[in-house]
Structure 1
Amino acid sequence: MTDAVVITRPKAQAQALAHQVAQLGREVVLLPLLEIFPLDDQCALIATLADLRRYALVAFVSPNAIDAAFAHIPAWPPEVTVAVLGEGSRAALAAHGIDPSNTTIISPKDPSRSDSENLLQTLDLASLAGKEVLIVRGESGRELMADGLRAAGARVTTVAAYRRSVPPMSAPLREQLQRLLDTQNDWIITSSEALRGLFALVNALGNPEYVAKLQQQRMIVPHARIAETASGLGITQLTLCGSGDERLLAALQSRP
């Protein structure tokens, strides 16, 4: 029997990739490792997004940030530059009608390093000195991008657009994890936070053998930072493929 492909993205973002994996003839298992929720109080988000033209640059940290923000954006001002971290965010922008034909979109040049550090290296930081920059993100997140922009002289505003959490352990989730770990599968991991959450869930199973089995699973990751997290957690079979679903699919097909 062909090993399954475990897709760990939030449910709303997993369907398109799941369909493409199924077209390869592979069994697909959806295991969302992060649950995405709207903010209880969206007043600050709505107020911030009401005056986008004041910003020289708006940076979205994830597809979730894009989807949550565009629920409150009737029309994007084309003169405002957008910065994103990876191909998934470019696809999310395109779903809202934003693409290079109508908006300047900046992202890291190296698809394997789709992170804040490389976005800062790609941006013309000198041109942002003294200008307003907005970062749209989840309720929590790294400060590196904001700190780097402020160090370059930009006036940075951050606003939360959503909240996320690892799903709580439940009887069905416990059974699913045990079943998956009792076989060898390909796991697509697109978030360091999700990977750490997966290890926390497996530790909660209460059997160290399952942690060892998780460390021996085959994992495909799009970013070097996730690969570093995986290596630190003891993953032994790791493929770094670069950002974008086409690279994830190519990595799956190249497996022996």
Structure 2
Amino acid sequence: MRLIVTRPAEQAARWVLELRSLGVDAQPLPLLAIAPLADASPLRQGWQDLAGCALAMFVSANAVQHFCAARPDGLAWPAGTLAGSTGPGTSAALRAAGVPEANLVEPAADAPAFDSEALWARLAARDWAGRRVLIVRGEDGRDWLAETLRVRGAEPRFLAAYRRLAPVPDAAGAALLQAALAAPRDHAWLLSSSEAVQHLLQLAPGADWSASLALATHPRIAATARGAGFGRVGDVAPTPADVARALVGLADPAGMGGARSIQSGSQ
């Protein structure tokens, strides 16, 4: 079974290489495009304000990369500011950007999902009254963590670091999409955002997904895939090794493998 990796182009390329090294027939078809902001001055100001924040939380590796691309020369990560991550990819990006390990706060390795709720489980015991928090994300997103912090007396604010755009597939991507539509049982979709699912529906209006398999890296994404009509949907941890195990497991009678669940899309 061929696995279609739908992450943004740069991330998809890395995932494809890692998955192929694990024996997976992986191909990229980005369903989300990431672009820099037209004006990076708010990001530079964010760096100047960072020392006054108790926490800077990053929703994704993209948020880290675009924020760090605007780092003023000679400015290091402040010793008193925590760096919050929502999962392994974001943590890896923070480490690569030079954030000290002592400042990094991330979900537990065995968290049921990698998201803001899992990060909050590691932060909830702290005193947040009067503390400033910077939440670095795209131009919009979930407000759950900001509202949770605000209830605890913190002063959160959002900082947009990049734009999310609908993709424009190249010739190879368009051909891959048509192949997947023509032979759905020979292809599986690795879905890493709910927005990507919506972009897929726009690229293939009216398509029948009832014979298609999706592996989703978060329960919310899985729910979106089921709502889109995917016939089988599995929750899987967002690492190449877990994804590879899940695909191998599809040969098992139960069809479970490394996926947390494989369920019918019809509810």
The TM-score with structure 2 as length reference comes to: 0.84
Structure 1 residues 215, 63: CA separation in 2 closer, same or farther (over 3 Å shift)? farther
Alignment-derived partner of residue 56 in structure 1:
54
Query: Do 1:137 and 1:159's aligned partners in 2 also have CA atoms closer than 8 Å?
Result: yes
Identity %: 35
Structure 1 residues 8, 44: CA separation in 2 closer, same or farther (over 3 Å shift)? same
Query: Do 1:58 and 1:81's aligned partners in 2 also have CA atoms closer than 8 Å?
Result: yes
Counterparts of 1:167 and 1:104, CA distance in 2: 32
Q: CA deviation at 1:174?
A: 4.2
Query: Do 1:5 and 1:187's aligned partners in 2 also have CA atoms closer than 8 Å?
Result: yes
Query: Do 1:6 and 1:28's aligned partners in 2 also have CA atoms closer than 8 Å?
Result: yes
Alignment-derived partner of residue 257 in structure 2:
none
Structure 1 residues 104, 84: CA separation in 2 closer, same or farther (over 3 Å shift)? closer
Structure 1 residues 30, 131: CA separation in 2 closer, same or farther (over 3 Å shift)? same
Q: CA deviation at 1:113?
A: 2.0
Q: CA deviation at 1:144?
A: 1.9
**Partner AA of 2:152 in structure 1:** A
Structure 1 residues 172, 18: CA separation in 2 closer, same or farther (over 3 Å shift)? closer
* Count of residue pairs brought into register by the alignment: 246
CA deviations on 1:177-219 (whole Å, 9 max, x unpaired) are: 212221221211111111121112111xxxx3xx21x342211
**Partner AA of 1:237 in structure 2:** R
Q: CA deviation at 1:130?
A: 1.0
Q: How does 1:1-256 map to 2 (within 5 A)?
A: 3-73=1-71, 74-98=75-99, 100=101, 102-107=102-107, 111-124=111-124, 127-168=127-168, 173-183=173-183, 184-203=186-205, 208=206, 211-212=207-208, 214-256=209-251
* Structure 2 SS opposite 1:135: strand
Counterparts of 2:124 and 2:177, CA distance in 1: 45
* Structure 2 SS opposite 1:49: helix
Which structure has more relative contact order (CA 8 Å, sep 6+)? It is: 1
**Partner AA of 1:94 in structure 2:** R
Counterparts of 1:154 and 1:163, CA distance in 2: 27
Query: Do 2:5 and 2:191's aligned partners in 1 also have CA atoms closer than 8 Å?
Result: yes
Q: CA deviation at 1:143?
A: 1.8
Counterparts of 1:194 and 1:91, CA distance in 2: 22
Q: CA deviation at 1:109?
A: 6.1
CA deviations on 1:52-106 (whole Å, 9 max, x unpaired) are: 1100011001110000011123422233111111111112122223363x42323
Query: Do 2:3 and 2:25's aligned partners in 1 also have CA atoms closer than 8 Å?
Result: yes
Alignment-derived partner of residue 255 in structure 2:
none
Q: CA deviation at 1:225?
A: 1.4
Structure 1 residues 35, 147: CA separation in 2 closer, same or farther (over 3 Å shift)? same
Structure 1 residues 162, 34: CA separation in 2 closer, same or farther (over 3 Å shift)? same
* Structure 1 SS opposite 2:103: coil
Higher alpha-carbon deviation: 163-172 or 246-255: 163-172
CA deviations on 1:153-179 (whole Å, 9 max, x unpaired) are: 101121100001111477765443212
**Structure 1 portions without partners, runs of 5+:** none
Counterparts of 1:240 and 1:156, CA distance in 2: 31
**Structure 2 portions without partners, runs of 5+:** 252-267
Query: Do 2:30 and 2:169's aligned partners in 1 also have CA atoms closer than 8 Å?
Result: no
Counterparts of 1:246 and 1:158, CA distance in 2: 33
**Partner AA of 1:244 in structure 2:** T
Q: CA deviation at 1:39?
A: 0.1
**Partner AA of 1:231 in structure 2:** R
* Structure 2 SS opposite 1:41: coil
* Structure 1 SS opposite 2:167: coil
Q: CA deviation at 1:11?
A: 1.1
